[in-house]
Structure 1
């Protein structure tokens, strides 16, 4: 899991992201999740990432990802191709809707857990030790009972 530094945390983050995409795409028909994997991969790789300032596709290929154009009826004479393209357009529209909802929901949950704290010089504070990543400064025999906060420290 992502809480254990001996594992590959970045892979865990990407897996969580793709799992979230797939949950959105296949929410109405969970057994169809495998159909959505290529779309989830494309969406992830062509989405702007704040950490790198561009999409992963741009980083790897040095250009924008290809645009998926909307299919216009009577554009092809082959019925199977026309059906495939119209299903693709329908799937893309559904993807955009579900991803927008998921992004709004994730933002709402993240914002609920945040609070704006302001500290003044001279106040006393405790530092929180993050579970599974940091350990108490004093080595304890039973880590479950070890302090979760360290301090107090005076703000100078």
Structure 2
């Protein structure tokens, strides 16, 4: 599902952005783990990624790359949230709450 979100808008650039999709997945909270996959594997929080503000750098190539990264991360986060909402709707459609009492 994550790759579909990634490839949908950028079919020819998916390989370039694949590490970012992997980073987002590995640093996202997983309810089944009750933590992030990164923290489970490494036992610590992931390194922080510096946010970019226009004008932070004087090198045009770096500025362009940072702007592309910020746009991409916002797009992929939006698409991942849409995918999660879709999966939740699908799950909720077939899910029923069941409670058991002692002796059932």
Coarse TM-score class (shorter-chain normalised): 0.7 to 0.9
Structure 1 residues 38-77: aligned runs within 5 Å: 38-77=19-58
- For 2:98 and 2:26, locate their aligned partners in 1 and report how far apart those are by CA, in whole Å: 35
Q: 1:74 to 1:50 in 2, by over 3 A?
A: same
TM-score (norm 1): 0.57
Q: CA RMSD in A?
A: 2.2
Aligned to 1:87: 68
What displacement does 1:117 show?
5.7
Name the CA distance, whole Å, in 1 between partners of 2:30 and 2:49: 20
Matched with 2:90 is 109
Q: CA deviation at 1:114?
A: 1.9
Could you say what secondary structure the match of 1:26 adopts?
Answer: helix
Note the residue ranges of structure 2 that are not aligned, 5 or more in a row.
none
Larger radius of gyration: 1
Report which of the two has the higher share of helix: 2
Aligned mates of 2:32, 2:51 — CA distance in 1: 30
Residues 22-72 of structure 1 show CA distances to partners (whole Å, capped at 9, x for unaligned) of: 111221232332223211211121111223321121122222112223211
Is 1:26–1:36's contact at 8 Å kept on the other side of the alignment? no
Q: 2:10 aligns with which of 13, 29, 40?
A: 29
**Larger proportion of strand:** 1
| Alignment: residue pair count | 102
Distance in 1, matches of 2:7 and 2:54, equals 26
Unpaired runs of 5+ in structure 1? 1-19, 120-155
Q: Equivalents in 2 of 1:100, 1:27: separation in Å? A: 14
TM-score by length of 2: 0.82
The structure-2 alpha-carbon separation of the partners of 1:117 and 1:76, relative to structure 1 and needing over 3 Å to count, comes to closer
